[in-house]
Structure 1
Amino acid sequence: MAHYTPMMQQYLKIKADHKDAFLFFRLGDFYEMFFEDALAASKELEITLTSRDGGGEDRIPMCGVPYHSAENYIKQLVEKGYKVAICEQVEDPKATKGVVKREVVQLITPGTVMEGSMLDEKENNFLASLSEFSDGTFSVSYNDLTTGETSVALITGGFDAAMSELYSRPVKEVVVASDFPEHYQSMLKDRLGYTVSHQDDVTIQESFQPLIKDMNQDKLIHGFGRLLQYIQHTQKRSLDHLQPVKVVELKEYMTLDMYSKRNLELVETLRKKGKSGSLLSIVDATITAMGARLLKQWMERPLLMPSAIETRHNQVEGFLEQFFERESLREQLTSVYDLERLAGRVAYGNVNGRDLIQLRNSLRKIPEILETLEQFNHPSIKELYRSINPLESLKELLEESIAEDPPSTIKDGGLICDGFNEQLDEYRFASKNGKQWIAELEKKERENTGIKTLKIGYNRVFGYYIEVTKANLRHLPEGMYERKQTLTNAERFITPELKEKETLILEAQEKSVELEYDLFLQVREQVKAYVNQLQQLAEEISRIDVLQGFAQVAETNDYARPTYIEGRTVDIKEGRHPVVEKVLTQDTFVPNDIFMDDKTDVLLITGPNMSGKSTYMRQLALTAILGQMGSFVPATSASMPVFDQIFTRIGAADDLVSGQSTFMVEMLEANHALSHATENSMILLDEIGRGTSTYDGMALAQAIVEHIHEQIGAKTLFSTHYHELTALEEQLERLQNVHVRAEEYEGNVVFLHQIKEGPADESYGIHVAKLADLPTELIDRATELLAQLENSTQENPEKVEDDHDQQLSLFVEESKPKVEKKREASTIEKHVENLNLLEMTPMDAMNELYQLQKRIKS
């Protein structure tokens, strides 16, 4: 680097330690980027690429952004998955000879964002770490730096279970060891879209030991250590707001794998990324940002303990019983800001005066909220009331110290209230009186000189001055003023008296601003002592917000309180799909009962497309999830067991990222359900087998139904177009046929969306094609062909079967030589024989099959 200038040498040394980040290198009022960073940033941010002389033979690529507007540019890069290292000057340029010392003061990554403009206020921003151990278990740790929330969990189901666990949280970045398997890292990036970072040191310093006081598992401590080290490495500042680590026992929550969460559209839809149209969009009646985040966490982890579910239902009932009090509570919550993130900003050290005003205004509302809660009669609401600490002393501190309308910056004054500090009041008095004296002097000088345009002004270079236009200079007595500056159209003067007052005013202003800054830092430190109590208050207010929201949704949408039984009977009266019933614009949603007693494990559902089979299946799963997360449910009444897991295969979608066809995805998801379900689980399988030939598909569908019935015993809804499967009701004692009712009227099919006992008598496929506006001549031809096929089957069913077998045998005989030739020239068959897929995890099996698929294509 010898041929580069000293400043560029400094840049290159710092950049060498942050190769995976854009280095924002502070030069005056700009953050500059050089070399590869400049080339990449100019494209990503669409800013001008320039160059400069850096001491070498060639000019160095360069681009930059103003430091005062850098946040928006950083946001763009972070949202695209990049990291940004902020390199600041750490010494006074005026007191330094040579190159000013610079250091990276913060590394901003997708999982460590703190700036409010870069965050979704209603969603956590989790950084996660993932560690694998020799026995095949994984530990996962989560931290939301904005709130200090930290949790850890141990996963025993292999990497696919770890993927499902990560998928359940709003994770933006995952930290792993540098030797973490490459194919796992690729899946985290490509399938889940995470930024993957590396951290090998897992040491937990003594000062952080209190955070893990309740942890006694080395694997969890190891995983948390990796996460903590990465946070320390990137943030380089106090982390006092980190909350004690919560150990999440996954066995206490319903398991929802990533397939089921996606298929059920819990927090976002399949077709449109975003909340609209999801279950979350229907049941979110929270008022506060922290309440919205907690609601999503409850949806991600429905409860398994009946007593915990009952507690939440009692609280919802308590809020539901008293409408006026609930409305008052909702109005009061609108004035409560995000206490969780405000507490985080206080501890993190980036809180400003306006943040503290938001905190003060929020605390002002707590006594009103307590007064309203006290008016509720239900004992469960009384418990919520008793759990709240209003933090009166903190509110008083903020009332006394922070000005009513402070600026957004903390170094320009205007932060502290009058009367809070005696010395500050004296400075302000001197400054205020000095400015008043200036105004009076201006008035007096105008009268003495008779010059109405005479004015007294100020600038940072010359200080205060008397300005007289050149046209009026003749009115000034000789020697009255001392000339200070000549302008094109005016002259500026000073007097000894003005200079003396200037010194007093400026000294008072300067000292006032410096003192205000010091006082603000002192207040911030005092507020910091309340961080843990603020986090506890935020947790209580969040809980109240979610529960009152459940009550609001229950009343608005006519939801009922579910009951939970020890047996295995599902009895839902007039159940509804919570989302579909809200989005229907012309039709009225048709409710349906779902009844499965101890003698029924499988409902085999037949009926035409568009008739509502998938809706019926999904509404059972969503009802179970809503009930176990603490909400009332869309039904007239609902009695059911607690489900430990829900598995779904609904809808068709290729997995293009990993190269999987619809049928492969279908089989993998079905396998995942069959491998993990218990008799206490729920399985929803829609149209299994339709991605292959009729006989293959039918055989697979029947085998899967039989396996669930005989080996698992889970409550299962299985929809199919294979009417032949309805005969299974005679063979499997715990299987029952039901169908979606449809009627033919004047040549058109009418879907009644009613679930009835027994099998469907027709598929109505041509009628559905007609509804899709296929050409009339095509529909007529299809109708003609269908009639011919049905007549042929009725007249000679044995011949049809023989003809089919004959055609199949001819196909086999014709293709046999070609197939044998391919087998002789390929090692694929041998590769298949060597694969022992049953002993692999589903994720590893998927990778093996993908590699095989590529070899077959080549």
Structure 2
Amino acid sequence: MSVPQADTPMMRQFNAIKREHPDKLLFYRMGDFYEMFGDDAIVGAKVLQIALTSRNKNKSLPMCGVPYRAYEQYLNKLTAAGYKVAICEQMEDPAKAQGLVARDVVRVVTPGTTVSPQLIDPSRNHYLLAINVVLRSQCLGIAFADLSTGEFEVAEFNLYETHRFYDFLAQLTPQEILLTQSRSEAESQFLEELVQRMTQLLDKENISDSRSAVSSEKEASFTDGQVFPSTGLFNFIDPYHFDPEATQRNLKAHFETLNLSGFGVDDLPHGISAAGALLRYLEETQKCDLSHFTALRRHAFEKTMLLDEATVANLELFESQSGVRKHTLYHILNHTQTPMGARLFRQWLRQPLLDIEEINQRFDSIEEFRINFMLCEKFRESLNSIQDLPRIMGRIILPVVGVNDLVALRESLEPVQKLPTYLTELQSPLLKKIAEKFDPLTDLLELLNQRLLENPSFKLREGGFIAAGVSAELDELRDISRNSKQFLNEMLLRERERTGISSLKISFNKVFGYYLEVSNVHKTSVPEDYIRKQTLVNAERYITADLKEFEEKILTAEERIGELEYELFQQLKTDLNTNIRRVQQTAQDIAVADALAGLAYVAEHYHYVRPSLHPLQAPRKLFLKDSRHPVIEQIELGEVFVPNDLDLVETKCRIMLITGPNMAGKSTYMRQVALNILMAQCGSFIPASRAELSVVDRIFTRVG
């Protein structure tokens, strides 16, 4: 980092703050703009395509700026380009400050911690990943979290099974990865190999990033090394952040527990250390309450099938081999109506189940929705108006919340009130369990209706969004602001009646403000509480305590309205935050029901059937009658897809050899068998007229 050289109090303040954040672009608040100086300005101007200017005549101090009121669009561009941005705010009113305005960093936005709706895909999680490398224990402890939703999970991998870690990494596709700075030559070598392999998986367009990331890590180890604003997936942090005792203390303090036993993670010490480091990183960057992280969950590998990246790519689950998402299994099967439903269904498709009982519970729910298809369609229609509840609550917790987020929550809770009507009619075990504990959050909807105007302004600092009746002071200020002349006339009439002076006048000037004017003829009738301010040739001018109080109110009404509404907004935000667990649980219940209803829609419209499943321990069997490829049959190719059969039984036929000319459909047949099995273990009905399938614990494909 080249420190901008300018010997002024402001630049000394900028440099002091910049030294604390050398690898970040610093948005330095100056009035109505966020300014950048030095290297930050050069990088910022290039990425944002804005003018690069200079603060001094010899142009030795480059600078550029973005408007405070529209900074988010510029911040999003920088974050999308991979940069970390520290937002430095004015901590006091410049008009009241004595000397230099106090400033401090209030939030750091990074690729893994952005919650901007413009940058994060509503249908997938936006993960930040922390990796704890412990060579002496031959273990990788990991933790991953989605700041936008509050999901927080932990796991561990042995170093001899790093292939499982890489497969899981490809599944997560984290936007930012935290690693410890190396403490030995062996650790440096391992980290370099780890970073290179992760880069190949996650950043195929920029393989050189792995080398630059390790170089940056080495530079960060030297206190006198220059560090420039940098991009990339990887962020190397102090090893102390992974210290077992410190991380345990941090996690227990956050969750307000005596220990972590209730989360079932006691046997994952290295994963816990990664979780503690990740939480501390979020606390240091967000600098606010993170109460939407309500639990630490153990990732249950033993309950799901791990799909390697080659299988995911060859089966075209989420992206076709041509690089588009349209002709993929996820695109065909995903008929969810809510963002949280879409994210959950993506997880189901990426992590097929191994337990037959769980799979059959999903089958039962789909079958019931399909039998009651009119009810299913009404249910799905109600879901269509529900926005992203977990991410709305995530923004309400964080400093980025706006009035529009509260309005979005209110608009989403209104259709939620209809859902119990539909859920109570369903009797399949999974849906019945949801119906019995479903919380429609009626009290929160009433709270929002009570506190917010029907058509509120979205200008947080200017007011115009709090409803009447919430605050007596606010109602009075609004009344004064709208009806100041009427107030003055009423006061004048009261004073004329009280004093008997019919010629009494209320006037205003810039010197005295509002005053009462009494002609000399009536000055003997002036009450004792009148305070003389000015003597004229023919009259006296007075003020009263009531008149000065009114003057103060009317002159400061608009400013006070904005301040008071902001205070009431913060109180409403606090009231909502205390209900975060309830909202998250309701959102999870909606997501499950949404995913199941979507699969019922698919089964009905695409003529899928319920497969019969055999457990892992039973004799192996794969029987498919009139099986179809779920994706290809939906593509307009000008002809009907020809179904195929499959009959593999452990006792008589365990393997098939498929032959035929090029383009005869060999690969399609192999893929459709794998896809049918995968769909079944996700809990979906499948494209066939009849199916009996043994549960499998892995699927391997190298097709094409």
Aligned to 1:589: 641
1:388 aligns with 2:445: no
1:256 aligns with 2:307: yes
* Aligned 8 A contact 2:255 2:295 in 1: no
Cα distance change of structure 1 residues 124 and 379 upon mapping to structure 2, 3 Å threshold = closer
CA-to-aligned-CA distance 1:97-148 (integer Å, 9 cap, x gap)? 4332222211111110122222222221111112222343322211000110
1:509 aligns with 2:539: no
Aligned to 2:148: 146
Shift of 1:395: 2.0
Aligned to 1:792: none
CA–CA distance in structure 2, aligned partners of residues 41 and 463 of structure 1 = 48
1:196 aligns with 2:220: no
Count residues in correspondence: 600
Cα distance change of structure 1 residues 320 and 87 upon mapping to structure 2, 3 Å threshold = same
Q: Pick from 241, 245, 251: which aligns with 2:296?
A: 245
Aligned to 1:729: none
Aligned to 2:317: 266
Shift of 1:617: 0.9
CA–CA distance in structure 1, aligned partners of residues 682 and 411 of structure 2 = 31
* Aligned 8 A contact 2:167 2:306 in 1: no
1:136 aligns with 2:135: no
Identity of aligned residues (%): 38
CA root-mean-square deviation: 2.8
Cα distance change of structure 1 residues 41 and 510 upon mapping to structure 2, 3 Å threshold = closer
Aligned to 1:125: 126
1:13 aligns with 2:16: yes
CA–CA distance in structure 2, aligned partners of residues 639 and 594 of structure 1 = 10
Aligned to 1:714: none
Aligned to 1:553: 602
SS in 1 for 2:701: strand
In structure 1, give the amino acid aligned to 2:69. H
Shift of 1:376: 3.2
CA–CA distance in structure 2, aligned partners of residues 145 and 569 of structure 1 = 43
CA-to-aligned-CA distance 1:386-433 (integer Å, 9 cap, x gap)? 120122222221121111122223221112111222232222222222
Aligned to 1:635: 688
> What pairs up with 1:439-450 in 2 under 5 angstroms?
none
Aligned to 1:162: 165
CA–CA distance in structure 2, aligned partners of residues 427 and 164 of structure 1 = 61
In structure 2, give the amino acid aligned to 1:285. H
TM-score normalized with structure 1 length: 0.66
Aligned to 1:764: none
1:63 aligns with 2:73: no
Aligned to 2:85: 84
1:25 aligns with 2:71: no
CA–CA distance in structure 2, aligned partners of residues 296 and 461 of structure 1 = 69
Report which of the two structures shows the higher radius of gyration computed on alpha carbons.
Answer: 1
Shift of 1:349: 4.1
1:568 aligns with 2:609: no
SS in 1 for 2:202: coil
* Aligned 8 A contact 1:357 1:404 in 2: no
CA–CA distance in structure 2, aligned partners of residues 17 and 71 of structure 1 = 23
Cα distance change of structure 1 residues 322 and 612 upon mapping to structure 2, 3 Å threshold = same
CA-to-aligned-CA distance 1:292-336 (integer Å, 9 cap, x gap)? 111111111111111111111111111111111111101111121
* Aligned 8 A contact 2:132 2:271 in 1: no
Structure of greater relative contact order (alpha carbons < 8 Å, 6+ residues apart): 2
CA–CA distance in structure 2, aligned partners of residues 462 and 418 of structure 1 = 33
Aligned to 2:283: 232
Aligned to 1:542: 591
* Aligned 8 A contact 1:354 1:408 in 2: yes
> What pairs up with 1:148-547 in 2 under 5 angstroms?
148-156=150-158, 157-179=160-182, 181-193=191-203, 195-199=233-237, 200=239, 201-202=241-242, 203-204=246-247, 205=250, 206-210=252-256, 212=260, 213-214=262-263, 215-217=265-267, 218-273=269-324, 275-378=325-428, 380-434=430-484, 504-547=553-596
Shift of 1:377: 4.9
Shift of 1:379: 5.0
In structure 2, give the amino acid aligned to 1:517. Y
CA–CA distance in structure 1, aligned partners of residues 96 and 477 of structure 2 = 28
Cα distance change of structure 1 residues 427 and 637 upon mapping to structure 2, 3 Å threshold = same
* Aligned 8 A contact 2:129 2:144 in 1: yes
CA–CA distance in structure 2, aligned partners of residues 556 and 288 of structure 1 = 20
Shift of 1:596: 0.9
In structure 2, give the amino acid aligned to 1:292. A
> What pairs up with 1:740-759 in 2 under 5 angstroms?
none
CA–CA distance in structure 2, aligned partners of residues 463 and 633 of structure 1 = 80
Aligned to 2:37: 34
In structure 1, list runs of 5 or more residues that go unmatched.
441-457, 465-495, 652-858
Cα distance change of structure 1 residues 227 and 337 upon mapping to structure 2, 3 Å threshold = same
Shift of 1:350: 3.2
CA–CA distance in structure 2, aligned partners of residues 51 and 638 of structure 1 = 72
CA-to-aligned-CA distance 1:280-301 (integer Å, 9 cap, x gap)? 1000100011111111111111
SS in 2 for 1:546: helix
Aligned to 1:620: 673
Shift of 1:632: 0.9
TM-score normalized with structure 2 length: 0.80
Cα distance change of structure 1 residues 355 and 182 upon mapping to structure 2, 3 Å threshold = same
* Aligned 8 A contact 1:318 1:380 in 2: no
CA–CA distance in structure 1, aligned partners of residues 553 and 274 of structure 2 = 60
CA–CA distance in structure 1, aligned partners of residues 34 and 430 of structure 2 = 55
